[in-house]
Amino acid sequence: METMMGLLRIHVQRGVNLAVRDLISSDPYVVVKMGKQKLKTGVVKRNVNPEWNERLTLSVTEPNIPITLSFDIALFIKVLRMQLEGLPDGTVLTKVQPSRENCLAEESCIIWSNGKLVQNMILRLRNVECGEVELQLQWIDVPSSRGL
In this predicted model, what pLDDT tens digit does every residue of 7-30 receive, in sequence order? 999 999 999 999 988 888 889 999
- For 131, list phi and psi in degrees, rounded to 5: 125, 145
Of 65, 18, 11, 2, give the one whose Cα is nearest residue 39. 11
Which CATH number does 6-140 carry?
2.60.40.150
> Kindly report the CA angle at 5 between 70 and 123, in degrees rounded to 5?
15
10 Å CB burial of residue 64 (0-12, 13-18, 19+) is exposed
CB atoms within 10 A of CB 56: 19
Instruction: Give residue limits of the domains in the chain.
Output: 6-140
3-state SS assignment for residue 32:
strand
Please state, in angstroms and rounded to a whole number, the distance separating the CA atoms of residues 55 and 129: 26
> Can you give the pLDDT at residue 1?
52
- Tens-digit pLDDT profile for residues 89-139: 999 999 999 988 889 999 999 999 998 899 999 999 988 889 999 999 999
